[in-house]
C-alpha cells in the first residue's frame, strides 16, 4: 500500500512501516532477488561445465586420433587411454548437466510462479488488514467525537442535520 493510500484511509505511516506483513513483503523481495542471482550464477556455471565437457571430448578425440596414428605401440596405447579418459570426463560433464538442468527449471518455476503468488497473497491480506484498521480508526474517531459533543451538551452536526450514514459504519 502506498503512503498516499494510507493517508487517504487515515492510517498512520508508522503502522505501515512497522507492520509484519510489510516486512514479510520486503523479505519476499529479497528472497526473489537471491533466487534470481542464484539462477543467473547457476546458468553461467552450467554453461562453463558444458564448454569444459565439450573441450574434454575434443581433447579426447584429438588424443585418440594421435594414438591411432602413433607407430610405437606403448605410446599409441597411452594416447588412446588418455583420449578415452578425456572422453569419459566429457561424458560425465554432460551427465551432470542432464541432472542439474531440471534444477534450474524448478528454481525458475519457484521464482516466476510461487514467489509472485505468495507476494500477491500477502499484499491482499495486508490491504485487507489496513482497510479494517482504517475502519476501526474511523469508528473510534466517530465515537470519540460523539462523546466529546455529549460532554459539551451539544448535538453533532451529522445528528442535527439528519445524516445518519455514520450509524451504518458502526454496525
Domain parsing of the chain, residue ranges: 13-137
Q: 10: which 3 cell numbers?
A: 487515515
C-alpha cell at 40: 543467473
Task: For residue 171, name the pLDDT band (cuts at 50, 70, 90).
Answer: very low
Q: Contact, 76 vs 63, CB < 8 A?
A: no
39 Cα distance to chain centroid: 12
Asked whether residue 91 carries a pLDDT value surpassing 80, the answer given is yes
* Per-residue b or e along 63-88, where b marks 16 or more CB atoms closer than 10 Å to that residue's CB: bbebbeeeeeeeeeeebbebbeebbe
The CATH architecture assigned to 13-137 reads Up-down Bundle (1.20)
Q: Do the Cβ atoms of 74 and 117 come closer than 8 Å? A: no
Cα–Cα distance for residue pair 15/18, rounded to 1 Å: 5
**pLDDT tens, 4-56?**
665 555 555 555 556 788 888 899 999 999 999 999 999 999 999 999 999 99
Q: Are 67 and 83 in contact (CB under 8 A)?
A: yes
pTM confidence score: 0.65
SS3 37: helix
- Exposure of 37 in the CB half-sphere (CA atoms within 13 A): 6
131-169: per-residue pLDDT in tens?
887 788 777 877 787 788 778 877 666 666 656 555 555
| Beta strand segments in 76-164, E | none
Amino acid at each position: 500500500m502506498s503512503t498516499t493510500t494510507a493517508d487517504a484511509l487515515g492510517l498512520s505511516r508508522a503502522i505501515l512501516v512497522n507492520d509484519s506483513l510489510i516486512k514479510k513483503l520486503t523479505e519476499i523481495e529479497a528472497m526473489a532477488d537471491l533466487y534470481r542471482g542464484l539462477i543467473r550464477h547457476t546458468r553461467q556455471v552450467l554453461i562453463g561445465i558444458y564448454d569444459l565437457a565439450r573441450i574434454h571430448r575434443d581433447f579426447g578425440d584429438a588424443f585418440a586420433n594421435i594414438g591411432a596414428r602413433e607407430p610405437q605401440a606403448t605410446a599409441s596405447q597411452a594416447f588412446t587411454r588418455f583420449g578415452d579418459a578425456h572422453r569419459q570426463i566429457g561424458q560425465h560433464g554432460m551427465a551432470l548437466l542432464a541432472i542439474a538442468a531440471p534444477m534450474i527449471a524448478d528454481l525458475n518455476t519457484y521464482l516466476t510462479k510461487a514467489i509472485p503468488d505468495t507476494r500477491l497473497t500477502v499484499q491482499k491480506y495486508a490491504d485487507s488488514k489496513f482497510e479494517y484498521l482504517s475502519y476501526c480508526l474511523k469508528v473510534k474517531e466517530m465515537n470519540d467525537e460523539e462523546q466529546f459533543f455529549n460532554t459539551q451538551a451539544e448535538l453533532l452536526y451529522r445528528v442535527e442535520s439528519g445524516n445518519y450514514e455514520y450509524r451504518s459504519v458502526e454496525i
